[in-house]
Chain A
Amino acid sequence: MAELERKIIPIGPFHPLQEEAEYFKLTVEGEKVVGLDIQLGYMHRGHEKICEGKTYDQIPFVVERICGICSTSHPFACVQAIEDAAGIEIPPRAAYIRTIVGELERLHSHLLWVGLAGHFLGYNTVWMWAWKYREPVLEMLELITGNRNHYAMFKPGGVRRDIEGGMIPPLLQVLDAADKKIMMLTKAILDDPVLHRRLEGVGVLTKEKAVEYSVVGPTARASGLATDVRKDDPHAAYDWIEWEEIVLHEGDVFAKAKVRLLECFESTKIIRQCLGKLKDLPAGEIDARMEYPPDGKGIGRYEAPRGEVFHYVKGDGSLYPVRYKIRAPSFMNIKSNEVAVLGASVADAAITLAAVDPCYCCTERIAAFNTKGKLLYTWDDLVKLSQEKTARMGGGS
């Protein structure tokens, strides 16, 4: 057979498949992918440099805006880095509240990925179901923090808002309902012969390659690497409650989906235990004071839905850090695509590239117009509407 000519298929930087700008240059021989070059930089905003011009109280707000989906993971790692440098211990109640918010975020993020993965496969029923059941999780976050996203919950030394006793019963109710729906979705996906055939053996990342690329999160755990910062490097309340780390060995897209789905149950288990513990702790003790700005270095890490988020801070005793380093999990995970996608067909490339759950860092402000171009709501109106909705849910102003 004559040798096939090599051709390049560009995916991106702007492509309907991706919500985020990134350029994947696929080299193909016929239908087979034989090479991948990834080019970054389209979303670079210089957060590390921005943080060096902000005070320690302001930095959590800045890093929260790195990503619209894991918007509590960056502040989680950030406040831990600052606390590590300043030597602060946070009150137990704050640790439980941090854990609850972190796990709610994991729930909504995993459901979001499951939906997107279904959409990429042309299986829009999965997409619509997953996103439908994600909605009550976002409402729980709104009830606790006042926001569906960008929660502004964390501060060095603790959290900004308490979870009051009255909130716990409705939270447990929503959690029970969410558990049932996620169980149904999980069973539907894990039992679906079409999805098995479509995803098993596709985009395999072997354990050796996972080690070489130092991948993190569900991408690593689906390839047999038991790495999870929540277990490994104890912080917040993860060490005080019971939960399992989900590790599979296949390394394919199906294993990655399975890890995420099964982790959802661990998340609800963690949240339930934390809510139970809150009842025994004195209300209002959610903040330890940071007396002096840190003079030295600190490292904070947190297991975001996509893997380890790493923040490093170096202070000199002034109000501003002299160096702030941020590493999001996708920085390690996306590069592993260059081996996972090799040998695949072009049709499998899209879901393989999406299987590491690359982080979409887009958040937009909105304006609502009617069809004649008349502005219906101003920004202030939208804020007011949002606050009224949260108040109706019983979560305060």
Chain B
Amino acid sequence: MPDEVTKTKNLEKNGAYIGDKGFCHQRDSEAEFKRVEGQCREFYPEGELNLVRKRRWYWEIAAEDVVKVADFCFNTLGCRFSIATGEDIPRGFTILYHFSLDRLGLLINVRVTLPHDDPQVDSLSVLGRGFEWIEREMHEILGIGFRGLGDTRHLLLPDDSPDDYHPYRRSFG
């Protein structure tokens, strides 16, 4: 092994502090899972938190509280924003925001449901620029409006695609 490997070993592992984002890798600590669960329930008791599997939680919240809950996940818990999944389902549009709490290997999937007739939700781009592209993508392919998203140009579709062209809607084509 070159010296560099030993030099650059990640010393921050095994519970060492890595900065404002919390503790690193307490992956197998049951107490830590319980603590995070308690924090979530306490912060947003109105939500429905389903611990589907040990590392896959789904959290149903009201659409108007999305910035509040996302801010809690991103800044308080120290999650990384993995991505968001938009979907057209019979009762409306859903967005699943996948937040990854890397120190536990836990995915907290925050879900909001929006009505078909006026799908509007607050943009999370206020929290960081990493949220922008996926919101632009959902804006064009599903036609979901993001209040506060400054840049609403097309991301994947051609620039001259019409405004009502949303290929991932079930009604498309």
Contacts and interface: CB of A to CB of B under 8 A. Distances in A.
B53 A84 contact: yes
A122 interface: no
A258 B25 contact: no
A41 B155 contact: yes
Interface string A181-217: 0010011001000000000000000010001111110
Contacts of A262: 2, 4-5, 8
A136 to B, nearest CB: 20
A244 interface: yes
A307 to B, nearest CB: 11
Given A244-B9, A327-B82, A335-B132, A299 B19 contact: no
- The A contact surface, by secondary structure, is mixed
Contact of B98 (A44, A186, A211, A310): A310
A262 B82 CA distance: 25
A227 interface: yes
Interface stretch (A231-239, A284-292, A343-351): A231-239
A323 B169 CA distance: 11
Nearest to A234: B105
A335 B130 contact: yes
Contact of A213 (B18, B109, B130): B130
Interface residues of B, number: 46
Given A84-B53, A335-B132, A323 B87 contact: yes
A248 B1 contact: no
- The B contact surface, by secondary structure, is loop
Contact of A41 (B24, B85, B98, B158): B158
Nearest to A334: B133
Contact of A310 (B4, B82, B133): B82
A357 interface: no
Given A49-B168, A227-B102, A246-B8, A214 B80 contact: yes
Q: Select the residue from A48, A231, A266 with max chain B CB neighbours within 10 A.
A: A231
B130 A325 contact: no
B50 to A, nearest CB: 11
A258 B8 contact: yes
B21 A211 contact: yes
A383 interface: no
Contacts of A84: 53, 56
Interface of A: 40-41, 44, 46, 48-49, 84, 183, 186-187, 190, 207, 211-216, 224-227, 229, 231-234, 244-248, 258, 262, 265-266, 299, 301, 308, 310, 312, 314, 323, 325, 327, 331-332, 335-336, 338
Interface of B: 1-2, 4-5, 8-10, 12-13, 18-19, 21, 24-25, 27, 53, 55-56, 80-83, 85, 87, 96, 98, 100, 102-105, 107, 109, 128-130, 132-134, 154-158, 167-168
Given A233-B55, A308-B82, 16 more contacts: A41-B156, A46-B167, A190-B4, A214-B82, A214-B128, A224-B19, A226-B12, A232-B103, A233-B107, A262-B2, A262-B4, A299-B56, A312-B96, A325-B85, A335-B133, A338-B129
The 5 closest A-B pairs by CB, nearest first: A233-B105, A214-B130, A327-B83, A212-B128, A325-B85
